[in-house]
Structure 1
Amino acid sequence: MSGDTARTLLRDAGTTAAAAVATALGTLALVPVFTTGAWVPPVLAAVTAVAAAGLLLRVAAAALAGDRPAPDWWAALVRVAVPFGQLVVLACVLTALFAPDRAWGGWLPVDGSLGDLGAVLADGTVELREQSTPALPLTGLLALTTLMAGLVAVAVDLVAVGSRQPALAGLGLLVLFCVPVSTVIGSIGVLPVAAPSVGLALLLFADQHRQLSRRLQEGRRPLLGPGTLTAVRTGAAAVLLGLVVGALVPTLTEGARPFAFGRGGGGGSTGTALDPAAALQGQLTLDEPVELLQLDASVPDPGHLRVVALEVYDADAGWTVGNLDGQAAVADEAELATLPGRQGGRPVDALVTALGHEDRFLPLLYAPQSVDVADPEQWRFDPATGTVFGRDVSTAGQTWSVAAVEPRPTPEQLAASGELPPELPLVQRYTALPPLDPAVEELVGTLTADARTPYERVQAVYGHFTDPANDYRYSLSTAPGTGGDDLADFLRLRQGYCEQYAGAMAALVRAAGVPARVVLGYTPGTAQPDGSRLVTSNDAHAWVEVYFDDLGWVPYDPTPIDTDRAVELPWAPRAPDQELDPRTDPLPAPLPAPVPQAPQELPAPQELPAPQAAPQQGGTWVPALRTAGTVLAVLAVLAVAAVPAGLRVLQRRRRLATGSPAGLWDELAATALDLGRTADPARTPRQVAEQLAEAAAPGGGAHRPHRRPAAEAGVAGAVARLARAEEAASYARPGSVPAVGPELRADLATARRGLLAAAPRGARLRALLLPPSLLAGLRAGLPRPPRRPRPPHRTLLRG
C-alpha cells in the first residue's frame, strides 16, 4: 500500500469516527421523546455498526486496489458499494434486535425474517400515530427509531467520508433535532439542543482538519493554522448556542398532548379514561360521576379491574409507566397471565361493556387467561405487567369478555415465601429507587427492624398506613408540602387520596427490599338490580402490587375508602372507612402529584417467572437487545483494533510482492522495529544482521532458554543470508539483481519466527495491535513543511 493510500485511509478513519460520534450525539435529541432510555442501546448499536462497516469496506477497497492508481470507475463503484454495504449491515442489526427468530444465525435476514421485520416496522408506524410524547418505548417504535438513526448514520457517513464534505453532513443532525421540536409540548431542555450542537462542532472540525491536512501534504500551511481556530470557534459557538437556546426553545403545537383525566383527554387516551401518567384527583373530583363500564361477572364480588401498572418512581415525576412489550397480540396467546406455582386462584368470567369509557388500555380482571375482543390483532398483551393495550384502537363502544383466575394466596403461603436473590433482574427492576429523604429511610428502618421475612416487612409497611393510631386520613384536600419532597410531605402530613397512599406504600416496600409497583384501575363498582355492576369515574382507584417468591404479584390496598367501593383482601385486612364529606372537605386545586412522563433510567424489563420455578429472566426482546448490543459493541471494538494489524499484513504482502532483496530486508527491519529492536542507520546490513542474530540468541530471549542451538544457528544463518542479499543488491548495477527465490523467502520466515520467539509476550502483543513500523512508515511518507529561512544577521552600528 502506497503512502498516499495509507494517508487517505487514515484521514477517512478519523472522519468516519467523527461522523459516528456526531450522529450518536445527534440522537440524544430524542431524549424527551421517550419515557425511558430503552431506545439508546439499539440506536447506538446501529450507529456503531454503520461506522464499522464503512471503515472496513473502505480498507478492503484500498487493499484490492493496491499501489496502482484507482481508475474513476473503481472510485465510483466504491462510493456506491460502501453505503449499500452499510444498509445491509443495518438490516442485519435490525434483524438481530427485533426479528431474530427465523433469521439465519439469529442475525442474517432471510425471507421469513424479513417479513417479521417488516411486520415490526409496520407496527411501529401504527404506534407512531397513536403514541403521545413522551412515548412508551414499544418494540415497533424502537425498531422504527433504530431504522431512522441508522439511515441518518449512513447519510452522514456518505456525505462526510464518501463526498469529503463533513460540514455539509451536519444537515443530517437536523433531521434528528426536528423530532422533539415537532412532537414535544413545552421546552425540550438543554441536552436535545446541546448534544447535536457538539456533534455539529465535531463535523466542522473534521472538515477543517481534512482541508488543512491536504494543504499540509502540499506543503502550503501548518496543521494548526488559522482555519483550525475558525473551526474551533464555530463549534464552540454552536455548543454555546445549544446551551442557551436549549432551555428556551418551545415546541410546535402539533405535538401530541399528554394523557389527561376526565373528558377531552388528548393524545393516546381520549374521552373518559385512566391517565397512566397523571394524578387520579381529576377523575375523583368530577362534579357528576361519569358512567364508564358495565361489568357482568360470574361471582357477586369480583376483584379490581386492572388497567396499567406504574413501575418507574422518581422523586419529581412520581410514578410512571415503564416499557411495554407490544409483540404478542391477545389472539396469539393461549394463556395470557398464568399464576405462579403455589399461588391459589378463583376462576372468574366477566363481560365488560364500555359505556362512557374510551381508552387504549383495556380494563381486565386479575390474571386474565383469555380475552375475547373485537379486532384482537390490534390489542397487545405485555406479560411483565399484565397490561392489554390497543394499537390504533380504543375501548369506545366495545364489549369484551375475559376469563381470569384471581389470586387468592393464604397468609400462611405469604409468610412462607422466602427472600428473592438481589441480583435477579425482576428484583433489580422493581426495587429501583432514587435517593430518598433521610426521614423516609429512617421510617422504613424503624418499621421493619423486627421483620424477618419479606411478608413481615410488607405487613409492617401496610400496617403503618392502616393502623388508626397513625391518623392517616383519606382526603382530596391536602395541605401543601414544604419539604420539596412529595413522598416525605405525605408521610408527614398523613392526608391524601388513593394514588398518594399507593405510591407511598410502594416506595416504602421497595426501600424494604421487596419488589413492588403501583397499579391504576377501578374498583368493581356498584351492584345493580339486574345483577350487573356499574363502574363510574368515582371508582377510579390506585393500589399496590407486591411480588412474593413462587406466588407472583399480590395486591394490597392501603387506602381507607368506602366499604361499597373496597375489595376485600383476606391477607391484608382493610383500613377503616373514611368517606369524603364535601361540606367539610372542599375540592381543592390540583395537588403537586406525579406529572406527565419524563425520560427515566430504568433497569431493562424482564418477563415474569415461569410457573413452579424461581423468577428467571424472561425471553423478551430486551435481553436479546442487550446481548446483540454487547456483541455489536465488542465486534466494533475488535474491528477497529484489527485495522492496524490488517494494514500491517497488507504492508508485508506489498513488500514481498516486489520480488527484490530490498523488500525482504525492509520487512525484516520492520519486524525488528515492531518488537522494539532499533538499528543504527549508520551500520551496514551485516552489522545489523549480527545485532539481530544476538537478539534471537538465548541471551536476547532469556525467557526462552529451552531453544535448541540448531534453531539459533538457523535463525542467525537466515538473517546473514538476507543481509548479504541486500548488500549485493545495493552494490549491483541497476537491472542486474536477480529475482528473489523461494529460499530467500524461507529465510525471511525463519528470521521473523526467531525474532518473535525471542521477544517478550507484551512486545509481541504490541507488534500485533499497534505495530510501530506502520506508524513510522506513515510519518516517513508525510511531507515535511519547508523550514523557515533564517533572518539575515544584522549588525548594530553605533555612531
Structure 2
Amino acid sequence: MNREDIGSAVAAAVATLLGAFALKPVYATGAWFPPVLATVVVVLAGGLLLRAAGPALWTRFAGDRPVPGKLGGLAVPLVPIGQMVLVGCLLTALYAPRDAFLGVIPTPTSIRALGAVLSDGSAEMREQATPALPLHGLLALTVVLVGLVAIAIDLVAVAGRQPALAGLGLLIFYCVPVATITGGIGLTAIAAPAAGLGLLLWADQNRRLARRNRSGRRTLLGTGTLLAVRTGVFALAAGLVIGALVPTLTEGSLTTGLGGGEGGGSSTGTSLDPVAALQGQLTLPDPIDLLRVDASVDDPGYLRAVSLDRYDANKGWSLSNLDGERSIADRGSLAPLPSDEQSRRVTESITVLGHDDRFMPVPNSPLTVAVHDGDSRNWRFDETTGTVFGRNVTTAGLSYEVTASEPEPSTALLEASPALPQTNPVQNQYTQLPLLNPSVASLVRDLVADARTPYDKVRAIHGFLTNRANGFVYSLSTAPGTSGDDLTDFLRLRRGYCEQYAGAMAVMVRAAGVPARVALGYTPGKEASDGTRLITSDDAHAWVEVYFADLGWVPFDPTPISADRAVQLPWAPRADAPQNNEPLPTAAAPTGPTQAGPTKQLDPDNTFRPLNLPQSSTAAWLRPTLLFGGGTLVLLAVIATPALIRRLQRRRRLSDGAPAALWDELAATAVDLGIPVHPAWTPRQTARQLAGVVNRTDGASAGRAVRRPDTDPAAVDALRRLALAEEASSYARPGTVSADPELVAALRAARRGLVRATPPRTRALAVLWPSSLLTGAGRRWGDALGRRATGLTRRRPRTV
C-alpha cells in the first residue's frame, strides 16, 4: 500500500467513528461507544493488513511474475469480504464467546447463539423507546450497522480512491436519530458527523494534490484543508438550520416500545396496557375468568403485572424501558428483599384461563418463576421495575409456579427507615416530577408539615386519601373537571377509581420527596370450594409502591374498595378503618386557576386499550439471516451503483457519436484508469501522452516515444484520429459536425489499448469505482457556478 491509501483508510475510519456519534442520543448511556470503537478499529486494521498481505504473499510465492488479470480483479472484493469476516469474529467475541473457538472464531453453536442475540435485538427494537437501554441485542445490531457502513466507506475511500464520495455513507447514521428521536438530538450528534465529512473531503483533496505533484512537498494546511474546513462548517450550519425546520416523527422510539402503546385491539379485558386506564376492564358487562391461583397461604397478596415508573406532564404514568437481558431461567433469586426486611415465603401455582398478555402476573418480590410445558428463557425479568415480560410470547395457555418473598414490615421498621440521600439512584429516579399545580404542591406541604420520617409522610398522604370524612368516593363515573388539570380536578371533586387514587397518591408521595411508583395487576380474587382462587377482569387493580431505605418496595393501597377484594396491609391501615376512626386533619382542597395539567392519563375515556403487540413466529435464525442478507445486498448495491452510472454515461456518449462526446469519453477513461492528463494540454498533446501509455513507454520526449516490443498500432492510430477530430470540431461552425461511426470504432479501439496497458487492479477499480464520475460532476458544478457568478458581475446597469 502507498502512503495515500493508508491516509485514506485512516481518514475513513476516523470519519466513520465521528459519524457514529449521531447514535449518541439514541442510547440512555455511553455503553454503545466501546463496541462501536472496536468495530471501526477492526475494519481499519483488517483493511490495512489484507491490502498489504495480498501483494506480499504473491511476491513470496510467485516471485517477480505479474499478477494475472482475473486474480487482480478478485483482490478488490476480497478485502471487504475479509473485513466482514473480522466483524463477525468481533461480534462472536463480544456477544457469543462461550461456544466459539478461542472465544473469537465462530463455530456452528456460537453462530446459533449469535443469531439468538441478533433476534433479541430485533425484539428490543420493538420494546425500547429512545433513549434506549444499551442491551446486548441492540448493541449487536449497532455493531452490524457500524461495521457495514465502515466497510462501505473504507471501500469507496481506499479501493475506489474517492474519499469525498464515501462521505455519503455518514448519512446512514443520521437516519437513526432522525427516525427515532422526538425533538432535538443535540449538537454532538450533528457536529461530529460534519467533522467526519470535512475529514473525508480533506483526504480527497490531499490525495488528488499528491497524485498531481508527487515530487513536491505537501503540508497539512494546504488548499484541500481549507476547502474541507469550509465545506464541513457549511454542512454543520446547514444541519443546525435545516434540522430545526424538518418535522420529526410523533413517537420518539425505535418502534413503539413496551410502554408506548396507543395499541389497538378490542376491549377484551384479557391484558393490561401499561399506559392505558383500568376503567375499561372495570366496566365490562360480564367478567372474564383470567387466572386460577393455588397459593400456599390463605391470604395471598397482589399479583403485580407491571410497575409504572415514569410520570409525564401530558401522558401521566407510563412504563419506562425494560432491561431484557436476564431470563427467569437464569440462576439466582430474581428480586430478593433486603436482609433487614420482614417477609413471608409464598408459593403460588398459577393456571392461565383467559389471560393473554406479554406481562406475567406474579406476587411481589418474586424469587423464582418456573414455566410448565414451555420455554422459560422467553420470559425476561426487569429488576428495576420487578416486571416479568415475554420475548415474542404471551401468557395465553401457560401454567407456571412462582416462589416469592412478600414484604411484611412492621411499623417500627418503617419508622426507623431514614430518608435516602439525593445522590441515591432510586431517590433520583423515583422522585422525578414535572411542574405541579401550585395548589397541589401546597396541599402536600400542609399534609407532611409535621412528618418526621418518610413513613410519616406516606401515612399522612395515605390517610388523607382513605379518610371518608374527607369526602373521597370510589366511582367509575366522574364528573368533568373545569381546571384543565386532571389531578387537581380529582383532588377537588374527590371521585374516582383505583388508577386515579393510586396515580394521585404516587404523585403526592414523590412531591413529598419519597420514591414512589404505580403498580398494575390484580387483587387475589374469590376463593373457590377447592381452596384455589379465581381471578377475573373485575379484579384488575392499581396500587402504590413506596421505597424505604434498607427495606425496599412496600405496597400501599389508597383506593376504597370492598373488603372482600382488598389486601390486608397492617402497616398501611385505612384512616377510616374500624380500629382507627380518628380522621387525619383535612387539608384544604386545591382551588383556583391552574397551570398545565400533569395527568391526562389519570382521567381517561371508557375505552380500554389492551397491549396487543404482534407476535413473531419466525425461526430464531431467520431474522438475523435476513438482516445480514439485506445489509449485504445494500452494500453490494452501493458498490455496483457507480459502475452502472458510468456504463450508462458511456452508452449515451457512444450513441451521440459526435467528436466532442467521444473525446469526453476518452478523457473520462483516462481519469478512471489513473492516467495523468493535464487539462491545459491540447488534444494532440493528450493523444501523445495516452499513446505512450498504450505503447508502455517510460515517457515522451520532444514528441518521440521510446517504444517497447509490446505495442498496439491500432490504438495509437485511433488516438491520433480522435485528437484530430476533436480539433476540427472545436473550430468548425456549430451544426456542421455530425456523428461518425468510424470515430466510434476508433474510440473503442483506443479504450481497448488503454485498458490492456494498465495493471489488473487498476482495471478493476476503473470498473467498480470510476473516478471520472466525481471529477466530472465537480467540473460541471464549478462551471455552472462560474457562469452564474459571471452573469452577476457582468449584469448591465439599469438606465434611468
Q: Could you tell me the TM-score, scaled by structure 2's length?
A: 0.58
Find the counterpart in structure 2 of residue 145 from structure 1: 141
Describe the superposition over 1:495-553 as per-residue Cα deviations: whole angstroms up to 9, x where unpaired: 43322322332233233333322211111123334433222222211111112233222
Q: Residues of 2 paired with 1:225 and 1:254: CA distance? A: 41
Q: Which is further off, 323-332 or 7-16? A: 7-16
1:354 and 1:398 in contact (8 A); partners too: yes
CA positional deviation for 1:304: 0.5
Pairs aligned (count):
560
Distance in 2 (CA, whole Å) between partners of 1:139 and 1:52 is: 22
**Alpha carbons 1:348, 1:403 under 8 Å: kept:** yes
The structural deviation recorded for 1:306 is 0.9
Which of 18, 30, 35 does residue 41 from structure 1 map onto? 30
Question: Which of 344, 352, 355 does residue 353 from structure 2 map onto?
Answer: 355
Distance in 2 of aligned mates of 1:249 and 1:311: 22
Larger deviation, residues 461-470 vs 449-458:
461-470
Q: Structure 1 pair 327/290, CA: closer, same or farther in 2 (3 Å)?
A: same
Residue 247 of structure 1 corresponds to 248
Checking the alignment, whether the CA contact within 8 Å between 1:299 and 1:348 is kept in structure 2 is yes
Find the counterpart in structure 2 of residue 370 from structure 1: 368
Equivalence for 2:500: 500
Separation in structure 2 between the aligned mates of residue 423 and residue 227 of structure 1, nearest angstrom: 45
Partners of 1:19 and 1:156 within 8 A in 2: no
CA–CA distance in structure 1, aligned partners of residues 155 and 610 of structure 2: 39
Q: Distance in 2 between matches of 1:490 and 1:166?
A: 63
- Cα distance in structure 1, aligned partners of 2:420 and 2:8: 54
Q: Shift in Å at residue 361 of structure 1?
A: 1.5
Secondary structure of 1:330's match? Answer: coil
Corresponding residue for residue 789 of structure 1: none
The match for 1:154 among 146, 150, 153 is 150
Contact 1:311 1:430 in 2 (8 A): yes
3-state DSSP of counterpart to 2:423: coil
The 1-side partners of 2:291 and 2:559 are apart by 22
Cα shift at 1:337: 3.1
Q: Retained in 2: the 8 A contact 1:280–1:541?
A: yes
The alignment partner of 2:415 has SS state of helix
Q: Please, what TM-score do these two structures have when normalized by structure 1? A: 0.58
The counterpart of 1:314, out of the listed 305, 312, 337, is 312
State the Cα deviation string for residues 329-368 of structure 1 (Å, max 9, x = none): 3333354333321322233332222221101211112233
| Contact 1:451–1:457 (CA under 8 A) maintained in structure 2 | yes
Name which of 587, 590, 604 aligns with 1:590: 604
Is 2:278 the counterpart of 1:280? Answer: yes
Q: Is the 8 A contact 2:12 2:157 kept in 1?
A: yes
2:91–2:140: 8 Å Cα contact kept in structure 1? no
Q: Is contact 1:181-1:250 (8 Å) kept?
A: no
User: Which of 112, 122, 125 in structure 2 is aligned with 1:128?
Assistant: 122
**Which residue is 1:618 aligned to?**
none
Partners of 1:592 and 1:143 in 2: CA distance: 40
- In the superposition, relative to structure 1, how do residues 166 and 555 fare at CA in structure 2: closer, same or farther (>3 Å)? farther
Q: Which amino acid aligns with 2:558?
A: P
Q: Tell me the C-alpha RMSD between the 2 structures.
A: 5.1
CA distance in 2, matches of 1:287, 1:537: 10
CA distance in 2, matches of 1:315, 1:492: 19
In the TM superposition, what are the counterparts of 1:163-312 in structure 2 within 5 Å?
163-166=160-163, 168-169=165-166, 172=169, 189=182, 191=184, 205-214=198-207, 218=212, 222-223=223-224, 243-247=244-248, 259=261, 264=266, 272-312=270-310
Deviation at 1:591, TM superposition (A): 4.6
TM-superposed CA distance for 1:192, in Å, is 7.6
1:716-731 paired onto structure 2 within 5 Å = none
Residue 445 of structure 1 aligns to which amino acid in structure 2?
A: R
Deviation by residue 1:444-480 (Cα, 9 ceiling, x = unmatched) = 3333332222211222222232233443333334455
C-alpha displacement of 1:54: 5.8
Q: Determine if contact 2:525/2:565 at 8 Å carries over to the other structure.
A: yes
1:309 touches 1:321 (CA, 8 Å); kept in 2?
A: yes
- Within the alignment, does 1:568 sit opposite 2:568 as a pair? yes
CA contact (8 A) 1:42 1:146 kept: no
Shift of 1:594: 13
Contact 1:43 1:149 in 2 (8 A): no
Quote how far apart the aligned CAs of 1:292 are. Answer: 1.4
Secondary structure in 2 matching 1:151: helix
1:384 equivalent in alignment to 2:380: no
Match of 2:18 among 8, 21, 45: 21
Runs of 5+ consecutive residues of structure 1 not aligned to the other structure: 32-36, 578-587, 598-799
Whether the 8 Å contact between 1:43 and 1:150 is mirrored in structure 2 is no
Correspondence list, 1:94-109, <5 A: 95=93, 109=103
Using the aligned pairs only, state the percent identity.
43
Shift of 1:206: 4.8
Q: How far apart, CA to CA, are the structure 2 residues paired with 1:207 and 1:138?
A: 29
Displacement of 1:237: 6.0
Residue 328 of structure 1: SS of its match in structure 2?
coil
Q: Residue 388 of structure 2 aligns to which amino acid in structure 1?
A: V
1:471 aligned onto 2:477: no
> 1:752 is matched with which residue?
none
For 1:49 and 1:129, locate their aligned partners in 2 and report how far apart those are by CA, in whole Å. 24
Once residues 231 and 344 of structure 2 are traced to their aligned partners in structure 1, the CA distance between those partners, rounded to angstroms, is 74
Equivalent positions of 1:673-688 (< 5 A) are none
Mind listing any 5+ residue stretches in structure 2 that lack a counterpart? 217-221, 578-601, 612-800
1:447 equivalent in structure 2: 447
Task: Report the Cα offset of residue 379 of structure 1.
Answer: 2.2
- Residues 270 and 610 in structure 2, CA contact (< 8 A), matched pair in contact too: no
Q: Equivalent residues in 2 for 1:606-617 (5 A)?
A: none
